[in-house]
Amino acid sequence: MRNGFTGCSRSQRDGSGCWSCHNLLWKWQKREFLGKNDITLNIKETGAFMKILHLNAGNETGGGMVHILSLLKGINEKELILGLFEDGIFAKKAKELGIRTVTFSQSSRYDISILFKLKKFIKDEKIDIIHTHGARANLFGYIIRLMTGVTWATTVHSDPRNDFLGRGIIGRMFTCLNMAVLKKPDHYFAVSDRFKDMLREFNVKGNKITVIYNGIDFDFSTKCKISREDLKLQAEEFVLLMVARFDPVKRHELAIAAFEQAMGASKEKIRLLFVGEGPERKRIEALVKDRNLENDVLFMGQQEEVAPFFQLADITLLTSKTESFPLVLLESSREGTPAITTDVGGVRDMIPDNSYGFIVGETPDSIAAAIQEAICLKARGQLKTIGKKFRNYTSQRYSVQSFADSVYNAYKLFVH
């Protein structure tokens, strides 16, 4: 282990990656099919339509999916195309929204034959910009840019140093490669000021970074209705909701520790709902069983509609190690449900002080204390007031239209 990172000769902290990963990228550049004369910046005259291809692995079901769908629907231009590497909920929802969606299917996530399909598609469709989201899309975006000369932008949704957390040597290798690739885009969208600062630490020039704040449709109203009675929850119970994929970075075990501590200190009946799926689910279920909390912690699985769960909950819980600008908090605010969250990403932009919600330390004690305070506020009839104030604040600042406009205006600046 060198500089705290197995397999890398240089620290990831400055985004430099390791020699072997840079060597791998260099070899890609030397491949004959790339074409030395293909690498030119594709620039259109001012006023012309831009054709933009958004690329994602397609296995997103949470905030990343909502971000991309909100953006494409918000811009609402015929020249926007969504390219995915897998079929699933993401592709289904995109098509339902009328977004032109193309699946470049892979036999496995290591199948690089789709690069030639992507190259042909970009040339046939005369794509001006590829806009990538996520590590796999970033890698392919980098290679495609070399193959075609298309302008490449990426949105940084998460801290790349934590994208493969807890996945052993393979995860460390992918982290190293991702960090090396992430130094290559023509332009970056950072979803919070903290993420812009992070990119600057990786030696990305400030004029290549645009800060955009996530936005959602605050006029959206779900047709799906789920009541507490449907879930066998009592009206008087205090219900905590955590909507997050089961991944080490989300720290479900921290939520459980805080919940258990709050249970022991409260006279009220408390329940915790987990909505989501992921590789850590079985481990978290085993932890709940070991702690004899099976009747208190409910696993709801993946849900296409999460709004009904926010509506029936008293508090949304976010215990992440790192976030960008968590859409789950905007979704919670839309339903008037206040949140208890760790101080990550851009949460202070959504919760400026404790009259809008609870920003807490990363310990069970701190989170449990906030849960207890929220229980007391509910008993006094004041928790809903915080939820309404939370909604009013976010709806005025983080609409889907302002989000989409800021991205589209940035496209025009760095392409023209």
CATH number for position 168: 3.40.50.2000
Confidence grade of residue 132 (pLDDT, cut at 50, 70, 90): very high
Contacts of 279 (CB under 8 A, 6+ apart): 246, 247
Mean pLDDT of 208-227: 87
In this prediction, residue 112 carries a pLDDT of: 86
In this prediction, residue 77 carries a pLDDT of: 63
Mean pLDDT of 48-58: 86
- Quick one: 116 and 127 in the same domain? yes
Confidence grade of residue 27 (pLDDT, cut at 50, 70, 90): very low
**Is residue 76 included in any domain, yes or no?**
yes
- Asked if pLDDT for residue 29 goes beyond 90, the answer is no
Confidence grade of residue 182 (pLDDT, cut at 50, 70, 90): confident
Continuous H helices in 58-167? 63-75, 89-96, 114-124, 135-148
- Quick one: 236 and 210 in the same domain? no
- Quick one: 72 and 123 in the same domain? yes
Query: Considering the chain, what percentage of its residues have pLDDT values greater than 90?
Result: 56
Query: Considering the chain, what percentage of its residues have pLDDT values greater than 70?
Result: 86
In this prediction, residue 78 carries a pLDDT of: 59
In this prediction, residue 48 carries a pLDDT of: 54
* Mean of pLDDT over the chain: 85
Q: Which residue has the higher pLDDT, 183 or 256?
A: 256
- Quick one: 279 and 166 in the same domain? no
Q: Which residue has the higher pLDDT, 108 or 281?
A: 281
Mean pLDDT of 98-102: 93
- Asked if pLDDT for residue 5 goes beyond 80, the answer is no
Confidence grade of residue 281 (pLDDT, cut at 50, 70, 90): very high
Mean pLDDT of 8-36: 44
- Asked if pLDDT for residue 349 goes beyond 90, the answer is yes
Number of H helices, E strands in the chain: 15, 13
Range of the domain at 357: 229-397
Confidence grade of residue 310 (pLDDT, cut at 50, 70, 90): very high
- Asked if pLDDT for residue 214 goes beyond 80, the answer is yes
- Asked if pLDDT for residue 37 goes beyond 60, the answer is no
Instruction: Indicate whether this model's pTM tops 0.85.
Output: no
- Quick one: 252 and 393 in the same domain? yes
Confidence grade of residue 84 (pLDDT, cut at 50, 70, 90): very high
- Quick one: 266 and 204 in the same domain? no
How many independent structural domains does the chain possess?
2
**Is residue 6 included in any domain, yes or no?**
no
- Quick one: 126 and 154 in the same domain? yes
Confidence grade of residue 286 (pLDDT, cut at 50, 70, 90): very high
In this prediction, residue 8 carries a pLDDT of: 46
Least reliable range by pLDDT among 38-42, 75-79, 340-344: 38-42
**Is residue 390 included in any domain, yes or no?**
yes
**Is residue 270 included in any domain, yes or no?**
yes
Question: Can you tell me the distance from the alpha carbon of 323 to that of 256, in angstroms, rounded to the nearest whole number?
Answer: 19
Q: Which residue has the tokens 């496209």?
A: 411
* SS percent in the chain: helix, strand, coil, step 5: 45, 15, 40
In this prediction, residue 163 carries a pLDDT of: 67
Confidence grade of residue 170 (pLDDT, cut at 50, 70, 90): confident
- Asked if pLDDT for residue 120 goes beyond 60, the answer is yes
- Quick one: 177 and 291 in the same domain? no
**Is residue 11 included in any domain, yes or no?**
no
Mean pLDDT of 399-406: 87
Mean pLDDT of 63-71: 85
**Is residue 256 included in any domain, yes or no?**
yes
**Is residue 223 included in any domain, yes or no?**
no
In this prediction, residue 45 carries a pLDDT of: 40
Q: Tell me how far CA of residue 153 lies from CA of 16, 48, 128, 172, in angstroms.
A: 19, 19, 11, 24
- Asked if pLDDT for residue 410 goes beyond 60, the answer is yes
> Which sign does the torsion angle of CA 162, 164, 169, 174 carry?
negative
Collapse the DSSP code of 368 into the 3-class scheme (helix H, G, I; strand E, B; otherwise coil) and give the result.
helix
- Tens-place pLDDT, residues 368-393: 999 999 999 999 999 999 999 999 99
Confidence grade of residue 164 (pLDDT, cut at 50, 70, 90): low
**Is residue 176 included in any domain, yes or no?**
yes
- Quick one: 45 and 191 in the same domain? yes
- Quick one: 151 and 247 in the same domain? no
The full length of the chain comes to 416
- Quick one: 154 and 181 in the same domain? yes
- Quick one: 265 and 374 in the same domain? yes
Question: Can you tell me the distance from the alpha carbon of 124 to that of 121, in angstroms, rounded to the nearest whole number?
Answer: 5
Tokens of 174: 């992918």
- Tens-place pLDDT, residues 243-254: 999 999 999 999
